[in-house]
Amino acid sequence: MQASRTTMGGCDSQADQFDHAATAARELMRKVPLVDGHNDFAWMLRGWLRNRLDHLSNDTIQDMPIGQTDVRRLREGQVGCQFWSAFVPDQGGLGAGEPQLETLRTTLQQIDVLHALFERHPATFGFVDTADDILPVFRSGRIASLLGIEGLHQIANSASVLRMYHRLGVRYATLCHDRSNLYCDSSNSKDSTDRGLSAQGREMVAEMNRIGMMIDLSHTSHQTQLDVLALSKAPVLFSHSSCFSLCNHPRNVTDDALDKLAENGGIIMICFLPSLVDPGDGSKPTLAQIADHVEHAGRRIGYAHVGIGSDFDGMLEGPEGMDDVSQYPQLVAELIRRGVGERDLAGVLGLNLIRVLKRAEETAKEMDASDEAAMLFDGEPEVWTKEQRLILTEAGNRRRAQRKRVVSSN
């Protein structure tokens, strides 16, 4: 304590303020779940253990020798709810050939390893797939755990695959990753032309609305964002993005897109990736810059449209003061010191995301009740030849004729 007072020039009132903010942060986080929109821990498990959870002892998962996530640090950071990403890199190609099918297989493996993780550690993780399940699991002392995929390259250009992912518990899908795909352009596209959503992308937005899958706009191009925000009937999210006006990075969200996001009712979950919060003055990004992005979005469009999406384990190291999942309370305390009110902060922590997920679920029910949108079917090639169709038709005609004769004879 003496060291901290020396650091702050011996000012007891400032030290007391810092202590109060830290205490208030932890108290709030005991009442309201911190919901993080994006964590790549599953990819760490694949890279380090080849998904062999039998090689992951209880001691090791408590204190991982690599990465930014383990149970001990999750508990220290008071994480209440986590969207775990079933991330798989985009191998390129717009067709549904071998690379796409291999990506699909790998995605299923990543979803499987996450389910296995939850099942092996039921006292720590509670799998949930509805908004209403999050708070009960949090109040039971477990980390409410949901799934997301990071790009529609993971569905092998198949709406059927998307629906099956949803049945497996995936509750958001990022439209693309670092490459443009069949559905939309990426913010990382090397093509200077930003085409936004394609015709297939518009169909997929409607299908995601229809089944209650949240649309994630992180990694998408500016025009894609504007197209989706004009089209989607449900609120959307940026699961791990920050603000372009503070950090000129193509992955970040411009103010005009933020304005449209507020009209849509969606949420931007501020990312901790150093390159997305870099102040641009040559210094290392810090926790303070993350708080700057939260504040900018909150002041621009209202704190009801802001959340937290770290991207931990998707980076080698985080900004100073926010390097792993144990340090969320420091960010919450910083926002308290800056005067963000408890109600706004509760929304940023997690209630905003819960609202967006709930509204996505409600939109799906409304669309189903009104028959507003038809199921999106895959365009499959012909399976039978004309001769096979003719043989089946003739056999069917004979059966019907036989049934008629039996009925008439009775």
CA 299 from centroid of its chain's CA atoms = 23
Task: Give the position of tokens 């991207």.
Answer: 311
Residue of 40, 207, 216, 278 marked active site? 40
Rounded to an integer, what distance in angstroms lies between the CA atom of residue 105 and that of residue 276? 31
**38 catalytically annotated:** yes
Q: Which of 36, 70, 129, 150 is catalytic?
A: 150
Residue 70 annotated in active site: no
Closest CA to 169 of 112, 122, 124, 125: 112
Whether 308 contacts 81, CB under 8 Å: no
**Integer Cα distance of 4 and 12 in angstroms:** 10
- At which residue do the structure tokens 């060291």 appear? 3
- Give the count of beta carbons closer than 10 Å to the beta carbon of residue 88: 24
138 close to 80: Cβ distance less than 8 angstroms:
yes
Catalytic residue among 121, 153, 166, 219: 219
| 36 noted as active-site residue | no
CA angle 380, 208, 205 (to 5 degrees): 85
* Active-site option among 177, 249, 293, 305: 177
- 150 given a catalytic annotation: yes
Q: Rounded to the nearest 5 degrees, what angle is found at the Cα of 167, between the Cα atoms of 164 and 171?
A: 100
Question: What is the Cα–Cα distance from 177 to 295, expressed in whole angstroms?
Answer: 26
Q: Which of 121, 240, 249, 293 is catalytic?
A: 240
Burial of 282 by CB count in 10 Å (0-12 exposed, 13-18 middle, 19+ buried)?
exposed
Catalytic residue among 36, 38, 121, 129: 38
- The span from the CA of 39 to the CA of 49, in Å, is 17
Tokens of 196: 């936004």
Closest CA to 347 of 17, 28, 18, 20: 28
Q: For 178, which DSSP code?
A: S
Which among 119, 125, 115, 127 is positioned nearest to 42, based on CA atoms? 115
* DSSP H or E stretch at residue 162: helix 159-167
339: phi > 0 → left, psi -120 to 50 → alpha, else beta; which?
A: left
Measured CA to CA, the distance from residue 48 to residue 161 in angstroms comes to: 27
Find the catalytic residue in 70, 207, 311, 324: 311
Active site residue 219: yes
Task: Report, as residue numbers or ranges, the catalytic residues.
Answer: 38, 40, 150, 177, 219, 240, 311
